[in-house]
Amino acid sequence: MDFVVGLPRTVHGFNAIWVIVDRLTKSAHFLPVKTTYDLSKYAELYVKEIVRLHGIPSSIVSDRDPRFTSRFWISLHKALGTKLTFSTAFHPQTDGQSERVIKILEDLLRACVLDYSDSWDTKLPLVEFAYNNNGIPSSIVSDRDPRFTSRFWISLHKALGTKLTFSTAFHPQTDGQSERVIKILEDLLRACVLDYSDSWDTKLPLVEFAYNNSYQNSIEMAPYEALYGRKCRSPIHWDDVG
């Protein structure tokens, strides 16, 4: 973990990037942040953008930024069971992976900042995509929602080389997978809505995490396990997956 700072302030107020790199796959997340964020906001971002997708890491390497050495941050990761390692002035290579990514990120961002000095944050997903180079889906299945059948959406995916398939009133099963997910999501959300009627959106990352780590009969494992080849590390059932 590390930060890219000193960037032009965007119209949304972002002036820094939080860089988080996976040591095994070298994939990275680039999160636009404000230097005025307090630690609770960083913790919220961490759960929303990292834990939601990847589970809880067994260890984190970072420099000695005051945000990472604070009592709050250390206590949070102690509770989660994550080991924190800090680089030092005598051995900064400990966090060399983040430093190398930041160097590449700065090169990628330079072109964006030159042309989009006050809106570089809107281009950050494309920069992250370019760095991770995960590819474009070969096909997408959806219902005939006007947003998915619009000329813009169809033209975009035609340019990307993605085949679009739409379900019909006569054969809605074409998009049955999404329908089943929505049914499960409704069940998961019901409990949230009962307790958090006006803030259910803040719980959505946890609902997504719960779904992606739930056993699916069709693939005989959880989606997370199918994607990463291992069970997710989580405080839940710690002895089983920790």
pLDDT digits (tens, 9 = 90+) for 199-227: 778 777 877 888 888 888 778 888 888 87
Q: Which neighbouring-strand residues pair with 19?
A: 2, 30
Higher pLDDT among residues 13 and 130, named by residue: 13
Query: Which pLDDT does position 33 carry in this prediction?
Result: 93
Distance CA(185)–CA(103), nearest Å, equals: 40
For the record, the structure tokens of 204 come out as: 């959505």
The correct CATH number of 2-132 out of 3.30.420.10, 3.40.50.1100, 2.40.10.480, 3.40.50.300 is 3.30.420.10
Is 229 within 8 Å of 55 (Cβ atoms)?
no
Structure tokens at 145: 């929602």
Please write the tens of the pLDDT for every residue from 2-31: 888 888 899 999 998 888 888 777 788 889
Closest to 128 measured CA to CA, from 45, 205, 22, 57: 22
Q: What is the dihedral of CA 177, 178, 183, 189, to 10 degrees?
A: 130
Tell whether the model's pLDDT for residue 157 goes beyond 50: yes
Tokens 């085949």 correspond to 163
How does DSSP assign 28-85, residue by residue?
Answer: EEEEEE-TT--HHHHHHHHIIIIIHHH---SEEEE---HHHHSHHHHHHHHHHTPEEE
Separation of CA 121 from chain center: 15
- Look at residue 239 in the predicted model and tell me its pLDDT: 45
Domain boundaries, the chain: 2-132, 167-241
